[in-house]
Chain A
Amino acid sequence: MIMISNLFNRKIFTLLKVQYSNMLEYRVEIALWAISGIIPFFMLNIWTNNNLNESINISDVLLSRYFLCAFFVRQFSVVWVVFSFEEDSLMGRVSPYLIQPLNPFFRYFAQHLAEQITRFPFALIIAFFFFIFNPESIWIPNLGTLLLSIVSTFLSFLIQFLIQSIVACLCFWTEKASSIERLLFIPTLFLSGLLAPVVSFPAYVKSWIYLTPFPYLIDFPANLLSGNETNISGGLGMQILWICLLLPLFKKIWSEGTKKYTAMGS
């Protein structure tokens, strides 16, 4: 068992190392992608200029910390596997990977992790400038909170990766699975906490939102990191529950989908 785990770790570690080298070839693009993720700062501006935070009893400082954390969580949980897989599948590039003893999605997984590592310094620089313009927002989260936030952000990434991988597998049936992903983008944008903290929604809407995976993508980890009041065990539990539901679904759809694979373009 330990040997299997070691071998598996070695595969993932090598994949990660190679993908990181690959990502470093694109460092300028990654810097631009990091900058392009500043939607939370625009939203912060809209909220504070219109005093919208007063209606939900959150101070300016806590709100600015929330949106900074939302920016960070978004930086380390953004997923684009559906687009990569769709292109590779249509161009026939998936074929050589399908006959290797490693699910091709591990390649994409490593690609995403490598990209997150590459993005990290750029995200820190953006945070540095954020604090220069908002010095009152500076805070140092305690170690326990920081660790839990990292875990929660990683779980958020896993949920998004699984959702998109499931959608990506629809390529085997529709060829243009990314259009389905665009449908998911709307609830992700509005219900994840990227545009507004979920706490600002009406109570009856909130009760429904918390049953979906969306608030656990940004709102929960961002609240956790920024020190806002949140149900830590409940949030982490829901994240794990969604992963447990999505993983077998992905496995099933992958196994059925590969039977439909026609190896187009190769």
Chain B
Amino acid sequence: MVQNIIDVRNLSKSFDISSKEPGLKGTIKHFFRRQTKSLKVIKDISFEIKKGEIVGFLGANGAGKTTILKMLCGLIYPSEGSILVSGYLPFRRKENFLKNITLIMGQKQQLIWDLPPIESFYLNASIYDLDKFEAKKRIKKLSDMLEIDEELFIPVRKLSLGQRMKSELLAALIHEPNILFLDEPTLGLDINAQRNLRKFLQKYNQETNATICLTSHYMKDITSLCKRVICVHEGAISYDGKLDLLLKKLSPVKEILIVCRSEEDAIKLENSGFTVKNKIKNEITIKIENNSITSSLKNILNNFDIEDLFINEPPIDEVIGKVLMKNDYDI
């Protein structure tokens, strides 16, 4: 049985937020009497993550995904509840714990801006107690996996966003962590760079059996990497389970585009009791429930003169969009 590497119990986090009314009056009032209120951004959440799992955290902006990641890696202190990551309390930031994890934030960088990435790599290597020979070996291996070479010797400020992100990944992985916290790692990258990064993460997970916790607003990141998702809505977990199940639950119907041999056949089909989405000449799009798709298709093929047929999955972004709006899924 695979052991749990992350164990979160009844975790909550509150922040003190000060508010100010607009205008000069509000500014003066704010100066003399600052009003702060405690805002609970994470509300009593519990979950476990097994070693080697890739888990996606889904939620709207401000739902609390990044705050959860920050608590898991020990960056911020939880207000209530307990977290165990690899047997450690993350916030104590023990050396052995820190050597096991990494955090990559799409918008933030740790590379030294005016120097080539290679300088930051060797610096990180020494911080993680790697000798020069081992560091060189790992830089070679990771740069091959990430397909970067000459970029290692160009000052960071002159690199493209994609090249910089690859270098950031290399810097963050040089100590071969077995738990990766990725907060929107593909933010701002073009389609090819996003795909390459996903391929790299998949490969890294397969080769090292590393656990990956990921937040992203690009649904392709989630669908191609994560079998399991945790949906966060206003600081609480609204769904924790397989992505497939969630998609089935949220999109119980499929759209089928049928090209009939004649317009008469299309009209006949339109009047045969199926839910029609639209019809243009001899082409008709109908909606069929997932559980009756085989029998319905058999019926159509037997009774109508069909030239061609296409089964369309609903756009994943549209489906996931529903996740961001809802707060409970009974699956």
Contacts and interface: CB of A to CB of B under 8 A. Distances in A.
B115 A21 contact: yes
Contacts of B102: 99
A99 B101 contact: yes
A143 B99 CA distance: 45
A99 B127 contact: no
Contacts of A101: 95, 98-99, 127-129
A26 B155 CA distance: 14
Contact of A98 (B93, B127, B172): B93
A220 B102 CA distance: 46
Contacts of A260: 77
Interface residues of A, number: 29
A259 B172 CA distance: 24
Given A101-B99, A259-B77, A18 B115 contact: yes
A25 B112 CA distance: 12
Assign chain B's interface to a size class: 20 to 34
A96 B123 CA distance: 14
Interface string B108-132: 1110101100011011101111000
Given A14-B123, A22-B114, A99 B108 contact: no
Interface string B80-120: 00000000000101010011011101011110101100011
Contacts of B74: 98-99
B15 interface: yes
B115 A93 contact: no
A99 B75 contact: yes
Contacts of B112: 18, 22
B58 interface: no
A99 B100 CA distance: 10
Interface in A94-120: 95-102
A105 to B, nearest CB: 13
Interface in A208-266: 258-263, 265-266
Nearest to B76: A263
Contacts of A99: 73-75, 93, 98, 101-103
A242 B35 CA distance: 39
A101 B177 CA distance: 13
Contacts of A14: 122-123, 126-127
Interface of A: 7, 10-11, 13-15, 18, 21-22, 25-26, 92-93, 95-102, 258-263, 265-266
Interface of B: 15, 70, 73-77, 91, 93, 95, 98-99, 101-103, 105, 107-110, 112, 114-115, 119-120, 122-124, 126-129, 172
Question: 7 tightest A-B contacts by CB?
Answer: A96-B110, A14-B126, A101-B95, A101-B98, A25-B114, A259-B77, A18-B123
